Structure 1
Amino acid sequence: MPDFEAVIGLEVHAQLLTRTKLFCACSTRFGEEPNSNVCPVCSGMPGVLPVMNAGAVEYACKMGLATDCTINPVSTFERKQYFYPDLPKAYQISQYAEPLCEHGRVEIEVEGERKTIGLTRIHMEEDAGKLIHSPGEGASYVDLNRCGTPLIEIVSEPDIRSSEEAVAYLKALRSILVYLGICDGNMEEGSFRCDANVSIRPRGQKEFGTRTELKNINSFRNVGRAIEAEIARHQDCLEDGEEIVQETRLYDADKDITVSMRGKEEAHDYRYFPDPDLLPVTVEESWLERWRGELPELPMAKRDRFKERYGLSEEDASLLTAERDVAEYYEAAVGVYDAPKKIANWVMGELLRELKDCETSLAGCKMEPAHLAELVRMVESDEISGKIGKKILPELFRTGKTPTQVVEEQGLSQISDTSELESVVDEVLAAHPGEVERYQGGEKKLTGFFVGQIMKRTKGQANPKLVNQLIAKKLG
């Protein structure tokens, strides 16, 4: 049988973080009462006129600049026509023939190898509403709050060859969007959604195979699983002599299979034509220059700089730069106490764990970067033990107190007085003569037992280095 390779292209819809919708003044706030953020424009009433949201154009252009796209000085809106209950106008205002951005690229890294994924286009469009199904009532309801929310659709070239590359590409895109502050990247709330076009072909063949589209996959993990399932299905079909049908499919995560949804639409099915109510979008070069100057350092560049400047591994630099607020927090802490690797370990371990446990972001953390730097310095200088440092971090996180305050209030300073510790060591050794005899008989691993007993008596405040030295000295 031939050796097949996958050919994958992704279409990503990213909801822009504007306060109002694309063509009206309704709020884009998520989680409001159904149909509370709706007006005659976004609900498709006859005779109303859309008015372009200039902020959405700026955000879309910034994404184009960040991905090395050509920003077209003139782009146009068209009506993409289809009938669905959550689309009140029976058409979606989108861009087709003349998009805002074209011919960009995104760098990804998989297993230490970098690869460039081409972007065909980035265009603007409005979102549809949302259907809410109630099986118990045998009914479906329509919520138009999301209708008219500004989106950009980011269409990749068919340059992706595996599910791993697809997930890396999506994560790279999401990081760029979040770094720019133009999308929150929340897949669960639908502000970052992905459709995948999948086909396979015998390795070495230039012609593409028949592709199928996987719609609205809602997590990075499921994107990878859905693509793997569809590749396997294509291969089984070809090996059994069956024809691949061009269609749209859905991924069933519980069964780990894809199921047919409908025949795949082509552009002519949507009967695109220019929207007569909207003028062409014109973008001036002076605007692009200003927006280019406002771009932050982007994730891949920041990752490379962190590796070079702070001596971090690829894995550590990737984790620290995945979210802009985490990267900035880390760098601020290092600016206070120059211990890049030690602070990286505390950020990646204790701080991110606390954020996860509290189900919050850094915006909800009261521990300032300077406080984390102070905590790491106190541990490194043996003022407190690492165990005590980890113990008090949740309180620092919640209260915003400094480590010095908490240590003083709770009397947690590390005991490093030799005479004080010597008496505790003597007590522990006297209380465990059997273990002492075994240690002196060659069971050196019992050091850990003695250290544990001493830590128990001192409530974790004994200097472990000094304790080890005293045990070795007394037991020979």
Structure 2
Amino acid sequence: MGEYETVIGLEVHVELATKSKIFCGCSTAFGGEPNTHVCPVCLGMPGALPVLNQKAVEYAVAVGLSAHCEITRVSYFDRKNYFYPDNPQNYQISQLYYPICRNGYLEIEGEDGTKKIGIHEIHLEEDAGKLIHEENGGGSRIDYNRSGVPLIEIVSEPDLASAGEVIAYLEQLRVTIQYLGASDCKLQEGSMRADVNLSLRKAGEAGLGVRTEMKNLSSFRAIAQAIAHEAKRQEEILSGGGRVVQETRRWDENEGCSYSMRSKEDAKDYRYFPEPDLPPLVVSDEWMEEIRGRIPELREEKKARYRIEYGLSEYDIGILTESRQMAEFFEDTVSLCRRPKETANWLIGEAMRLRKESGGGNGYFSFSPKHLAGLIRMVEAGEVNRTTAKVVFEQIFRQDVDPEVYVKEHGLGMTGDAEELREAVRQVLEQNPQPVADYKGGKEKAFGFLVGQSMKATKGKADPGKIRELLKDLLS
């Protein structure tokens, strides 16, 4: 694409983690039976009046502050009119003219270093329902459980130039919002959804080309594929002397292509007017500072502190701060055992391996920091060796056992009697004359075999370092 360059802006919808909907008291829980989390307000019944959810406002302000936005002190809600089966009122309550947050930015690591991505605005609105299409054209059903779930829509400036930058921006946005506790941002459940506005322009030009909007992007993989496909499609049109049409396109992940849904709407198409049933939303200085004071240490701040306080590698820091839950678990464990590197090794190595094997995803660990810290102390004190510690840790991971109790009950404590170890190693040498001869003949691999046999003879309860010392002493 040397002749053209890609220009991308994103509209990211994020479902907020409130327990009730934005304008009524219905549950926002995911996965309920269809049409059970509904009431006259979120079903758009005549005479039902909306009441704004305070927690949704606080989450929106927290996201805005974390994204360096200006907070609009007096904002308003508007009616966005459109007719579609999943929209029970035939309008959506949103914010067009006075969004709650404006003029912010997030920083990402781009191909040429740190890049600032502008955020045009963040506005509050309500979600629509969900259409469930039956196979083979059998019709569609509507579930209104999602109708009225609080959303923020984060509208970026057209500052993104590649799929890689888009993914980096979305990752940064997702981690920030998760740290705030404002949303779980699960793409697979629809609590974070991105629409991609993409256009091409001649390389070096400042103006913007005609853009298309792509919807139905439910994973980072789909987003990257859709961007590559749409950029190629537009380039072929422009190179052939054609004209790109401004439209909304739907991405089909199974087919790996997009198709036109409708012409791209403008604000005039929705006939916006002020929402008559909601008063102005006033965010006072005191309320804003109260919200700011509740914002936790975010990822970039944590990473900077970990470098100084713990002296960990960038790789370790990156993994430990991927989620607020992982970072807090790490810090809680270190506060008990004072061994940051050992704690990092156990979490990044064994804990993540076992979680992957159990299909646990990236959620919370079910064992306690106290028990991991106890195991780390036992290894350091020489009460168990590392091989045994891995066996014990698996039980901690699966059943949250107390490591001291488990080791005692199963007789896994380290064998430390020098004469007992010496006798066990001597017997291994007597029983394996060929490996002994091989080692003395210069075959170093034979030494590893003898170490393994000695550990087996001591039922894995010896210190491997002491076993090596005894072997070298007796073999000499």
TM-score (norm 1): 0.94
Residue type of the alignment partner of 2:373: A
Q: Evaluate the alpha carbon distance shift between residue 4 and residue 104 of structure 1 in structure 2; reply closer, same or farther with a 3 A threshold.
A: same
Equivalent residue for 2:461?
A: 461
Q: Which amino acid aligns with 2:106?
A: V
What is aligned with 1:43? 43
Matches of 1:2 and 1:110, distance apart in 2 = 19
Q: Deviations over 1:321-363 (max 9, x none)?
A: 1111110110111112222122111111222333344455898
Q: Quote how far apart the aligned CAs of 1:31 are.
A: 1.3
- CA separation of 1:458/1:259 partners in 2, compared to 1, >3 Å: closer, same or farther? farther
Structure 2 spans left out of the alignment, 5+ residues: none
Question: CA 1:223 to 1:377, structure 2 compared with 1: closer, same or farther past 3 Å?
Answer: farther
Could you give the per-residue CA deviations for residues 281-332 of structure 1, whole angstroms, max 9, x where no partner exists? 1111110011111111111111121122211222221211111111011011
Higher deviation after alignment, 93-102 or 136-145: 136-145
Cα distance in 2, alignment partners of residues 469 and 134 from structure 1 = 70
Which residue of the partner structure matches residue 120 of structure 1? 120
**Alignment match, 1:262:** 262
2:244 aligns to what?
244
Deviations 1:198-247 (A, max 9, x none): 22333322112222222131122322232233333333443444433322
Report the Cα distance in structure 2 between the residues aligned to 1:405 and 1:160, rounded to whole angstroms.
Answer: 55
Work out whether residues 8 and 160 of structure 1, in 8 Å CA contact, stay in contact via their aligned partners in 2: yes
Q: Does 1:302 align with 2:330?
A: no
Q: Distance in 2 between the 1:154 and 1:196 partners? A: 12
The CA distance in 2 between the partners of 1:185 and 1:454, in whole Å, is 51
Report the residue type matching 2:17 in the other structure: L
Flag the 1:142–1:461 CA change in 2: closer, same or farther, 3 A: same
Q: Residues 71 and 102 of structure 2 are in contact (CA less than 8 Å); yes or no, is this contact kept in structure 1?
A: yes
CA shift in 2, pair 1:458/1:225, >3 Å = farther
CA pair 250-426 structure 1, distance change in 2 beyond 3 A: farther
Q: 1:231 to 1:413 in 2, by over 3 A?
A: farther
SS in 2 for 1:13: strand
Q: Which residue does 1:412 correspond to in 2?
A: 412
Cα offset, 1:266, TM superposition: 2.0
Which amino acid letter does the alignment assign opposite residue 182 of structure 1? A
Paired residue total: 476
Q: Tell me, yes or no, if structure 1 residue 63 matches structure 2 residue 63.
A: yes
Corresponding residue number in structure 2 for 1:449: 449
Once residues 454 and 232 of structure 1 are traced to their aligned partners in structure 2, the CA distance between those partners, rounded to angstroms, is 63
Q: Secondary structure at the match of 2:7?
A: strand
Farther off after superposition, 236-245 or 190-199: 236-245
2:475 corresponding residue in structure 1:
475
Q: Deviations over 1:90-148 (max 9, x none)?
A: 11111111100001111223579322211110100000001112216702110001101
1 CA distance for matches of 2:467 and 2:192? Answer: 53
Q: Which structure 2 residues correspond to residues 148-163 of structure 1 after superposition, within 5 A?
A: 148-163=148-163
- Tell me, what secondary structure is at the counterpart of 1:188? helix
Cα distance change, pair 62–319 in 1 and its aligned pair in 2 (3 A): same
Quick one: percent identity of the two aligned structures? 48
Corresponding residue number in structure 2 for 1:433: 433
Note closer, same or farther for the CA distance 1:376–1:242 as it changes in structure 2 (3 Å cut): farther
8 Å CA contact 2:63, 2:177 repeated in 1: yes
**Equivalence map 1:81-96=2 (5 Å):** 81-96=81-96
Q: Which residue pairs with 2:279 in the alignment?
A: 279
Contact 2:326 2:364 in 1 (8 A): no
**AA partner of residue 231 (structure 2):** I
* 1:319 match: secondary structure: helix
- Asked if structure 2 preserves the Cα contact closer than 8 Å seen for 1:416 and 1:466, the reply is no
Q: CA deviation at 1:14?
A: 0.9
Residues 325, 364 of structure 2: 8 Å contact kept: no
SS of residue in 2 equivalent to 1:217: coil
CA distance in 1, matches of 2:112, 2:437: 52
Amino acid at match of 1:143: D
**Alignment RMSD:** 2.1
Classify the secondary structure of the residue corresponding to 1:39: coil
1:320 aligned partner:
320
For the residue of structure 1 that corresponds to 2:169, the secondary structure is helix
Amino acid at match of 2:169: Y
Change (3 A) 1:448 1:15: same
Bigger drift between 164-173 and 368-377 goes to: 368-377
Distance 1:262 1:468 in 2: 73
Over residues 265-286 of structure 1, what are the superposed CA-to-partner deviations in whole Å (9 max), with x where a residue is unaligned? 2222222111122222111111
CA contact (8 A) 1:105 1:119 kept: yes
Counterpart of 2:179 in structure 1 is 179
Task: For residues 70-96 of structure 1, give each alpha carbon's deviation from its aligned partner in whole angstroms, at most 9, with x where no partner exists.
Answer: 111111111112221111111111111
Q: Equivalent residue for 2:401?
A: 401
**Equivalent position SS for 1:88:** coil
Query: Quick one: distance in 2 between partners of 1:7 and 1:415?
Result: 66
Distance change (3 Å), C-alpha of 1:196 and 1:397: same
Matched residue, 1:196: 196
1:437 counterpart SS class: helix
Distance 2:151 2:186 in 1: 13
TM-score calculated relative to the size of structure 2? 0.94
Distance change in 2, residues 1:405/1:110 (3 Å) = farther
SS of residue in 2 equivalent to 1:254? coil
SS at match of 1:151: strand
Q: Are 1:130 and 1:142, in contact at CA under 8 Å, matched by a contact in 2?
A: yes
Equivalent position of 1:339 in the other structure = 339
| Alpha-carbon distance in structure 2 between the residues aligned to 1:342 and 1:374 | 12
